[in-house]
Amino acid sequence: MSLVKILVYLYLILLMGLSQALFGQSPPNILIAYHSVTGKTQAMAEAVAKGVGEIQGVEYILKPITEVTEVEILNASAIILGSPVYNANMTPELQSFINSWPFEGRPLKDKIGAVFVTGGGFSIGEEAVMFGMIRAMMIHGMIIVGGDELEAAFGASAITGEVEFADKDVQDIFLKKAEGLGKRVGELLVK
Ligand SMILES: Cc1cc2nc3c(=O)[nH]c(=O)nc-3n(C[C@H](O)[C@H](O)[C@H](O)COP(=O)(O)O)c2cc1C
Protein backbone atom coordinates (compact mmCIF):
# COMPACT_ATOMS: atom_id res chain seq x y z
CA MET A 1 0.00 0.00 0.00
CA SER A 2 1.42 3.38 -0.99
CA LEU A 3 2.23 6.03 1.56
CA VAL A 4 -0.41 8.31 0.02
CA LYS A 5 -3.10 5.67 0.53
CA ILE A 6 -2.07 5.13 4.13
CA LEU A 7 -2.19 8.87 4.74
CA VAL A 8 -5.65 9.10 3.15
CA TYR A 9 -6.94 6.28 5.37
CA LEU A 10 -5.45 7.89 8.45
CA TYR A 11 -7.03 11.20 7.50
CA LEU A 12 -10.46 9.57 7.06
CA ILE A 13 -10.22 7.74 10.39
CA LEU A 14 -9.26 11.01 12.07
CA LEU A 15 -12.13 12.84 10.38
CA MET A 16 -14.65 10.18 11.45
CA GLY A 17 -13.43 10.28 15.02
CA LEU A 18 -13.56 14.07 15.06
CA SER A 19 -17.07 14.28 13.61
CA GLN A 20 -18.27 11.68 16.11
CA ALA A 21 -16.71 13.61 18.95
CA LEU A 22 -18.30 16.84 17.75
CA PHE A 23 -21.68 15.65 16.50
CA GLY A 24 -21.68 12.10 17.74
CA GLN A 25 -25.07 10.58 18.48
CA SER A 26 -25.42 9.01 21.86
CA PRO A 27 -26.91 5.51 21.67
CA PRO A 28 -30.69 5.24 22.15
CA ASN A 29 -31.60 4.78 25.76
CA ILE A 30 -34.59 3.24 27.46
CA LEU A 31 -35.98 4.43 30.74
CA ILE A 32 -37.46 1.52 32.70
CA ALA A 33 -39.42 3.08 35.55
CA TYR A 34 -41.54 1.17 38.02
CA HIS A 35 -43.45 1.35 41.28
CA SER A 36 -43.18 -1.66 43.57
CA VAL A 37 -44.00 -2.13 47.24
CA THR A 38 -43.42 -5.86 47.75
CA GLY A 39 -40.88 -6.42 44.96
CA LYS A 40 -42.92 -8.24 42.29
CA THR A 41 -43.06 -5.37 39.83
CA GLN A 42 -39.40 -4.67 40.51
CA ALA A 43 -38.59 -8.26 39.52
CA MET A 44 -40.46 -7.73 36.25
CA ALA A 45 -38.59 -4.43 35.71
CA GLU A 46 -35.27 -6.25 36.14
CA ALA A 47 -36.37 -8.83 33.58
CA VAL A 48 -37.30 -6.04 31.14
CA ALA A 49 -33.79 -4.62 31.65
CA LYS A 50 -32.29 -8.06 31.01
CA GLY A 51 -34.13 -8.16 27.67
CA VAL A 52 -32.89 -4.69 26.70
CA GLY A 53 -29.38 -5.79 27.66
CA GLU A 54 -29.51 -8.47 24.96
CA ILE A 55 -29.54 -5.77 22.28
CA GLN A 56 -26.24 -4.19 21.36
CA GLY A 57 -26.05 -0.43 21.02
CA VAL A 58 -28.94 0.35 23.36
CA GLU A 59 -28.55 1.67 26.88
CA TYR A 60 -31.06 1.65 29.70
CA ILE A 61 -31.78 3.28 33.03
CA LEU A 62 -33.64 1.10 35.52
CA LYS A 63 -35.17 3.01 38.43
CA PRO A 64 -38.11 3.22 40.78
CA ILE A 65 -40.30 6.18 39.80
CA THR A 66 -39.29 8.13 42.91
CA GLU A 67 -35.71 8.38 41.61
CA VAL A 68 -36.44 9.36 38.01
CA THR A 69 -35.50 12.90 36.97
CA GLU A 70 -37.21 15.06 34.36
CA VAL A 71 -33.99 15.09 32.31
CA GLU A 72 -34.05 11.28 32.20
CA ILE A 73 -37.65 11.38 30.96
CA LEU A 74 -36.83 13.95 28.26
CA ASN A 75 -33.65 12.16 27.14
CA ALA A 76 -35.21 8.71 26.90
CA SER A 77 -35.82 7.28 23.43
CA ALA A 78 -38.34 4.91 24.99
CA ILE A 79 -40.10 4.67 28.35
CA ILE A 80 -41.18 1.30 29.74
CA LEU A 81 -43.46 1.72 32.74
CA GLY A 82 -44.40 -0.84 35.38
CA SER A 83 -47.12 -0.79 38.02
CA PRO A 84 -48.83 -3.19 40.38
CA VAL A 85 -52.62 -3.48 40.03
CA TYR A 86 -54.42 -1.66 42.84
CA ASN A 87 -58.18 -2.08 42.74
CA ALA A 88 -58.00 -2.49 38.97
CA ASN A 89 -56.04 0.75 38.57
CA MET A 90 -52.38 1.68 38.35
CA THR A 91 -51.12 2.76 41.75
CA PRO A 92 -51.71 6.39 42.74
CA GLU A 93 -47.93 6.88 42.83
CA LEU A 94 -47.59 5.72 39.23
CA GLN A 95 -50.47 7.99 38.17
CA SER A 96 -48.83 10.97 39.92
CA PHE A 97 -45.55 10.13 38.21
CA ILE A 98 -47.19 10.25 34.79
CA ASN A 99 -49.03 13.45 35.75
CA SER A 100 -45.65 15.04 36.49
CA TRP A 101 -44.30 14.47 32.97
CA PRO A 102 -43.60 17.63 30.96
CA PHE A 103 -46.48 18.27 28.58
CA GLU A 104 -46.11 21.78 27.10
CA GLY A 105 -45.07 21.37 23.45
CA ARG A 106 -45.52 17.60 23.83
CA PRO A 107 -41.81 16.81 24.27
CA LEU A 108 -42.53 13.08 24.67
CA LYS A 109 -44.24 12.84 21.28
CA ASP A 110 -42.90 9.96 19.15
CA LYS A 111 -40.98 8.32 21.95
CA ILE A 112 -41.69 4.61 22.20
CA GLY A 113 -43.83 3.56 25.16
CA ALA A 114 -44.46 0.12 26.64
CA VAL A 115 -45.91 -1.25 29.87
CA PHE A 116 -45.77 -4.12 32.34
CA VAL A 117 -47.89 -4.91 35.38
CA THR A 118 -48.19 -7.37 38.22
CA GLY A 119 -51.51 -8.26 39.80
CA GLY A 120 -52.59 -10.65 42.49
CA GLY A 121 -55.09 -12.59 40.40
CA PHE A 122 -56.22 -13.44 36.90
CA SER A 123 -58.49 -10.98 35.15
CA ILE A 124 -58.98 -8.70 38.09
CA GLY A 125 -57.35 -5.67 36.60
CA GLU A 126 -54.09 -6.38 34.72
CA GLU A 127 -55.33 -5.41 31.27
CA ALA A 128 -57.29 -2.47 32.64
CA VAL A 129 -54.09 -1.16 34.21
CA MET A 130 -52.03 -1.78 31.09
CA PHE A 131 -54.56 0.17 29.03
CA GLY A 132 -54.69 2.92 31.66
CA MET A 133 -50.95 3.45 31.30
CA ILE A 134 -51.08 3.08 27.51
CA ARG A 135 -53.86 5.70 27.29
CA ALA A 136 -51.82 8.17 29.33
CA MET A 137 -48.77 7.61 27.14
CA MET A 138 -50.89 8.18 24.04
CA ILE A 139 -52.03 11.53 25.42
CA HIS A 140 -48.35 12.44 25.27
CA GLY A 141 -48.17 11.26 21.65
CA MET A 142 -46.03 8.24 22.40
CA ILE A 143 -45.88 5.22 20.09
CA ILE A 144 -47.01 2.12 21.95
CA VAL A 145 -45.35 -1.27 21.56
CA GLY A 146 -46.44 -4.60 23.01
CA GLY A 147 -44.35 -7.62 23.92
CA ASP A 148 -42.79 -10.05 21.47
CA GLU A 149 -45.32 -12.84 21.92
CA LEU A 150 -49.09 -13.03 21.58
CA GLU A 151 -49.45 -13.65 25.30
CA ALA A 152 -47.88 -10.25 25.94
CA ALA A 153 -49.74 -8.38 23.22
CA PHE A 154 -50.43 -5.27 25.30
CA GLY A 155 -47.31 -5.53 27.44
CA ALA A 156 -45.96 -7.98 30.00
CA SER A 157 -48.07 -9.03 32.97
CA ALA A 158 -47.53 -11.34 35.93
CA ILE A 159 -49.95 -13.00 38.33
CA THR A 160 -48.39 -13.00 41.76
CA GLY A 161 -51.00 -14.07 44.28
CA GLU A 162 -53.22 -16.80 42.90
CA VAL A 163 -52.90 -20.58 43.21
CA GLU A 164 -49.57 -21.94 41.96
CA PHE A 165 -48.31 -18.44 41.12
CA ALA A 166 -48.48 -17.31 44.73
CA ASP A 167 -44.79 -18.03 45.34
CA LYS A 168 -42.48 -15.53 46.88
CA ASP A 169 -40.76 -15.04 43.50
CA VAL A 170 -42.34 -14.03 40.23
CA GLN A 171 -42.63 -17.13 38.05
CA ASP A 172 -40.30 -17.57 35.06
CA ILE A 173 -43.17 -17.69 32.58
CA PHE A 174 -43.95 -14.05 33.45
CA LEU A 175 -40.33 -12.93 33.66
CA LYS A 176 -39.82 -14.27 30.12
CA LYS A 177 -42.63 -12.01 28.90
CA ALA A 178 -40.99 -9.01 30.56
CA GLU A 179 -37.63 -9.94 29.05
CA GLY A 180 -39.25 -10.25 25.61
CA LEU A 181 -40.82 -6.82 26.01
CA GLY A 182 -37.47 -5.19 26.81
CA LYS A 183 -35.80 -7.00 23.94
CA ARG A 184 -38.46 -5.93 21.46
CA VAL A 185 -38.30 -2.27 22.45
CA GLY A 186 -34.50 -2.41 22.18
CA GLU A 187 -34.69 -4.04 18.75
CA LEU A 188 -37.13 -1.43 17.50
CA LEU A 189 -34.88 1.41 18.62
CA VAL A 190 -31.94 -0.10 16.75
CA LYS A 191 -34.08 -0.35 13.61
C1 LIG B 1 -54.24 -1.91 47.90
C2 LIG B 1 -54.05 -3.07 46.97
C3 LIG B 1 -54.98 -3.32 45.98
C4 LIG B 1 -54.81 -4.40 45.12
N5 LIG B 1 -55.74 -4.60 44.14
C6 LIG B 1 -55.56 -5.60 43.26
C7 LIG B 1 -56.50 -5.79 42.20
O8 LIG B 1 -57.47 -5.08 42.05
N9 LIG B 1 -56.26 -6.79 41.32
C10 LIG B 1 -55.17 -7.60 41.42
O11 LIG B 1 -54.98 -8.47 40.57
N12 LIG B 1 -54.26 -7.47 42.44
C13 LIG B 1 -54.43 -6.47 43.34
N14 LIG B 1 -53.51 -6.29 44.35
C15 LIG B 1 -52.33 -7.18 44.42
C16 LIG B 1 -51.07 -6.54 43.83
O17 LIG B 1 -51.34 -6.01 42.56
C18 LIG B 1 -49.99 -7.59 43.68
O19 LIG B 1 -49.69 -8.15 44.92
C20 LIG B 1 -48.73 -7.01 43.03
O21 LIG B 1 -47.97 -8.04 42.48
C22 LIG B 1 -47.87 -6.22 44.02
O23 LIG B 1 -46.80 -5.66 43.34
P24 LIG B 1 -45.44 -5.21 44.06
O25 LIG B 1 -44.86 -6.44 44.74
O26 LIG B 1 -44.55 -4.73 42.99
O27 LIG B 1 -45.78 -4.15 45.06
C28 LIG B 1 -53.67 -5.24 45.24
C29 LIG B 1 -52.74 -4.99 46.25
C30 LIG B 1 -52.92 -3.92 47.10
C31 LIG B 1 -51.89 -3.66 48.17
Centroid of ligand 1 to alpha carbon of 37 (angstroms): 9
Label residue 97 exposed, middle or buried (CB < 10 Å: 0-12, 13-18, 19+): buried
Q: Residue of the nearest CA to atom 31 in ligand 1?
A: 86
**Neighbouring residues of 44: CB distance < 8 A, sequence distance ≥ 6:** 34, 82, 116, 117, 118, 156, 158, 170, 174, 175, 178
Name the DSSP letter for residue 77.
S
Please give the distance, rounded to the nearest whole angstrom, from the Cα atom of residue 119 to the centre of ligand 1.
5
Interface pTM (ipTM) of the complex? 0.99
pTM: 0.88
User: What is residue 8's predicted lDDT score, i.e. its pLDDT?
Assistant: 47
Distance, CA of 61 to CA of 76 (rounded, Å): 9
Q: How confident is the model at residue 13 (pLDDT cuts 50, 70, 90)?
A: very low
Is 40 in a helix, a strand, or coil? Answer: helix
The CA 86 to ligand 1 mean position distance, Å, reads 5
Dist. CA 85 → ligand 1 center (Å):
5
Averaged pLDDT of the chain: 90
**Where are the alpha helices (H) located in 24-69, listed in sequence order?**
40-53
Q: Which atom of ligand 1 is nearest to the CA of 88?
A: 8
Q: Which atom of ligand 1 is nearest to the CA of 160?
A: 21
Q: What is the structure's pLDDT at 16?
A: 45
**Average pLDDT for 145-149:** 95
Q: Which residues line ligand 1 (CB under 6 A)?
A: 36-42, 84-88, 118-121, 124-125, 160-161
Domain range summary for the chain, segments of one domain joined by +: 26-190
For a pLDDT cut of 90, what percent of the chain falls above it? 81
Question: Do residues 44 and 170 touch, judged by C-beta distance below 8 A?
Answer: yes
CA atoms lying within 13 Å on the CB side of residue 15: 6
79 bridge partner residues: 31, 113
Q: How confident is the model at residue 163 (pLDDT cuts 50, 70, 90)?
A: confident
Q: What does the DSSP assignment read for 92-138?
A: HHHHHHHHTS--TT-TTTT-EEEEEEEESSTTSSHHHHHHHHHHHHH
Q: What are phi and psi of 42, to 5 degrees?
A: -65, -40
The dotted CATH code for 26-190 is 3.40.50.360
N-terminal to C-terminal alpha carbon distance within the chain: 37
| Distance between CA atoms of residues 27 and 100, nearest Å | 26
